[in-house]
Amino acid sequence: MRTIVTMPGDGIGKVVTPEAVRLLDAAGFKANYEHGDIGWEFWCKEGNALPQRTIDLLKEHKIGLFGAITSKPKDAADKELDPSLQGKGYSYFSPIVAMRQLFNLDICTRPCISFKGNPLNFIRKKIDGTFEEPMVNTVIFRQNTEGLYAGVEWTNPPKVVRDALETNPKMKAFAHVPSEEMAISTRIVTKKASERIIRAAFEYAKQFGYKNVTICEKPNVLRETSGMMFKIGKQIAKEYPEIALWDTNIDAQMMWLTKNPEDYGVIVAENMFGDIISDGFAGLIGGLGFACSANIGEEVAVFEPTHGSAPKYEKLNPSIVNPIAMFMSACMMLEHIGENEIAARIKKAISAVIEEGKVRTYDMMKLRGGADVFEKGACTTQQMTDAVIAKL
Ligand code: NAI
Ligand code: MG
């Protein structure tokens, strides 16, 4: 039997993860679950938010289902570290970034798909004054390990860095700026990683019947890095004659986000651009309660809702948060391991609950979060799970 490493993490991660397991069980998915420690608690107690034992579990079982973690600024991190560990050289590092780097989880997939009847769906005014509700069905492939988020950056860059940069004539414009007054973040794009993300995007489009793949970059300005991605995109596209290759500039894409989002199938972009577009599209389909994601490497894959630990709601019992983003992440996990039938059944059940509209979490009712949302008709997290299970 397959083993899934569940990493609830902090705050509402601890609420939505067990709900996902309950749903997976009810849907007939047979698996063992091994608990992996991750998050703020382990930073405070052990000085490491991603303990080695959790890394070992992921190495062994390859598939992780992750809730959310809390992270806090440096001062708070230092203060909350166990007194016996303070002053011993521990420094906080995000366990999510650590996981991505350790296992080279370079392909981030973020589907943004509207559910019929979701009151949070984007609507658009038509010329005759009536409204239309475009059904968005876009899957963003975000390069997850390099680009602007690779972390190769300096404030007050050392002389060797400046010397190297000055081999580029464009640096003349900065010749008079003292290094202490300069910050530099690099955007590094490699052929291998670009090929992997673009190929993954085309393969996905082929498997799930999307008609176009859009490279969303800015090659007219970022001539080297965006230029490389676009060139590779053109080469790979030749292998998929049935799928159209489109290209958009990131800025224009954000403008078109509300004009014609329903036209875009699969979108592929560098790390930061992918981060931006996926949040933009997620807003059209209901936001954080619905936004799911996968981080896929050559061996290990980790599935997670894109929301954080929502600390202001973690103590509410019963919980008010929407577990659907987590459920959809679990469905991505099922599809990744070939359990497409169970995934399809769960997604159908979720769609039915949303369309029926009887059971809604507070966010779906556009309420301000708090213990009083139940009086106003919102369901609990657990009731949402029950409703989905009842529809299976
Ligand atoms: P957040 O995603 O936790 O919350 C943002 C807003 O959305 C809050 O109003 C929250 O209550 C609401 N929300 C989040 N998930 C929801 C759900 N499932 N249903 C209904 N409402 C939901 O982001 P925030 O507040 O910026 O960060 C809180 C903590 O989470 C921080 O420590 C941050 O570092 C961490 N974080 C962790 C992430 C991860 O684990 N992947 C991602 C983003 C933030
Ligand atoms: Mg983001």
Query: Which residue type, as a one-letter code, is found at position 98?
Result: A
CB 272 within 8 A of CB 264: no
**Which residue's alpha carbon is nearest to atom 20 within ligand 1?**
321
Residue of 307, 350, 379 to mutate, ligand 1, most atoms within 8 A of C-beta: 307
Same-domain check for residues 209 and 310: no
* CATH number of the domain within which 143 lies: 3.40.50
Give 222-225 contacts, CB < 8 A, sequence gap 24+.
222/187, 224/189, 225/147, 225/187, 225/188, 225/189, 225/270
Same-domain check for residues 143 and 224: yes
Range of the domain at 161: 152-185
**272 Cα to the center of ligand 2, angstroms:** 9
Ligand with an atom nearest the CA of residue 306: 1
Q: Report the alpha-carbon distance of residue 19 to residue 380 in Å, rounded.
A: 11
Q: Tokens representing 19?
A: 């709900």
Same-domain check for residues 250 and 127: yes
Same-domain check for residues 11 and 129: no
Q: Give Cα separations from 218 to 227, 248, 269, 288, 338 (angstroms).
A: 8, 8, 10, 27, 35
Residue 352: inside a domain: yes
**199 Cα to the center of ligand 1, angstroms:** 31
CB 213 within 8 A of CB 250: no
Same-domain check for residues 134 and 270: yes
Give the CA dihedral 285, 28, 141, 70, nearest 10 degrees.
Answer: 70
**Closest among 202, 266, 289 to 240, alpha carbons compared:** 202
Residues paired with 293 in a beta bridge: 304
**Which residue's alpha carbon is nearest to atom 5 within ligand 1?**
310
Residue 363: inside a domain: yes
User: pLDDT value at position 73?
Assistant: 87
Instruction: Pick the last residue of a domain from 284, 318, 339.
Output: 284
Residues paired with 7 in a beta bridge: 66
Atom index in ligand 1 nearest the CA of residue 312 equals: 11
CB 361 within 8 A of CB 321: yes
Same-domain check for residues 233 and 308: no
Beta strand 107-113 pairing with 31-35: unpaired
Residue 113: inside a domain: no
Same-domain check for residues 70 and 144: no
Q: Report the alpha-carbon distance of residue 146 to residue 271 in Å, rounded.
A: 6
Residue 289: inside a domain: no
CB 136 within 8 A of CB 331: no
pTM: 0.95
Instruction: Pick the last residue of a domain from 164, 185, 206.
Output: 185
> From first to last of its 392 residues, what are the pLDDT tens digits of the chain?
999 999 999 999 999 999 999 999 999 999 999 999 999 999 999 999 999 999 999 999 999 999 999 999 888 999 999 999 999 999 998 999 899 989 999 999 999 999 999 999 999 999 999 999 999 999 999 999 999 998 899 999 999 999 999 999 999 999 999 999 999 999 999 999 999 999 999 999 999 999 999 999 999 999 999 999 999 999 999 999 999 999 999 999 999 999 999 999 999 999 999 999 999 999 999 999 999 999 999 999 999 999 999 999 999 999 999 999 999 999 999 999 999 999 999 999 999 999 999 999 999 999 999 999 999 999 999 999 999 999 99
Q: Give Cα separations from 360 to 340, 352, 357 (angstroms).
A: 26, 12, 7
User: pLDDT value at position 74?
Assistant: 85
Q: Give Cα separations from 115 to 112, 153, 339, 355 (angstroms).
A: 10, 41, 22, 7
Q: Report the alpha-carbon distance of residue 1 to residue 147 in Å, rounded.
A: 38
**Closest among 11, 8, 119, 12 to 380, alpha carbons compared:** 12
Same-domain check for residues 30 and 132: no
Question: What are φ and ψ of residue 184, in 5° steps?
Answer: -130, 130
Same-domain check for residues 87 and 72: yes
Q: Give Cα separations from 206 to 10, 195, 203, 361 (angstroms).
A: 37, 16, 5, 34
Instruction: Pick the last residue of a domain from 254, 284, 314.
Output: 284
**Closest among 19, 262, 11, 47 to 137, alpha carbons compared:** 262
Question: What are φ and ψ of residue 381, in 5° steps?
Answer: -55, -45
**279 Cα to the center of ligand 2, angstroms:** 6
Q: Cα angle at 304 between 38 and 202, to 5 degrees?
A: 135
Atom index in ligand 1 nearest the CA of residue 363 equals: 20
**Which residue's alpha carbon is nearest to atom 32 within ligand 1?**
70
**352 Cα to the center of ligand 1, angstroms:** 26
Same-domain check for residues 272 and 130: yes
Query: Which residue type, as a one-letter code, is found at position 114?
Result: S
Residue 140: inside a domain: yes
- Count of domains observed in the chain: 3
Atom index in ligand 1 nearest the CA of residue 369 equals: 11
Q: Give Cα separations from 282 to 123, 173, 232, 248 (angstroms).
A: 14, 39, 27, 18
Residue 111: inside a domain: no
Residue 114: inside a domain: no
Dihedral-angle region of residue 47 (phi above 0 means left; psi in -120 to 50 means alpha; beta otherwise): left
Question: What are φ and ψ of residue 304, in 5° steps?
Answer: -160, 145
* CATH number of the domain within which 345 lies: 3.40.718.10
**313 Cα to the center of ligand 1, angstroms:** 10
Half-sphere exposure of 335 (CA within 13 A, CB side): 20
Q: Work out the widest C-alpha separation in the chain, in whole angstroms.
A: 68
Beta strand 292-296 pairing with 107-113: antiparallel
Is the alpha carbon torsion for 155, 158, 163, 167 positive or negative?
A: negative
Residue 307: inside a domain: yes
Which residues have any ligand 1 atom within 6 Å of their CB?
68-71, 96, 288-289, 304, 307-313, 321-322, 325, 363, 369
**Closest among 137, 274, 298, 109 to 204, alpha carbons compared:** 109
Same-domain check for residues 70 and 194: no
Same-domain check for residues 180 and 214: no
**Which residue's alpha carbon is nearest to atom 30 within ligand 1?**
308
Q: Tokens representing 95?
A: 């366990």
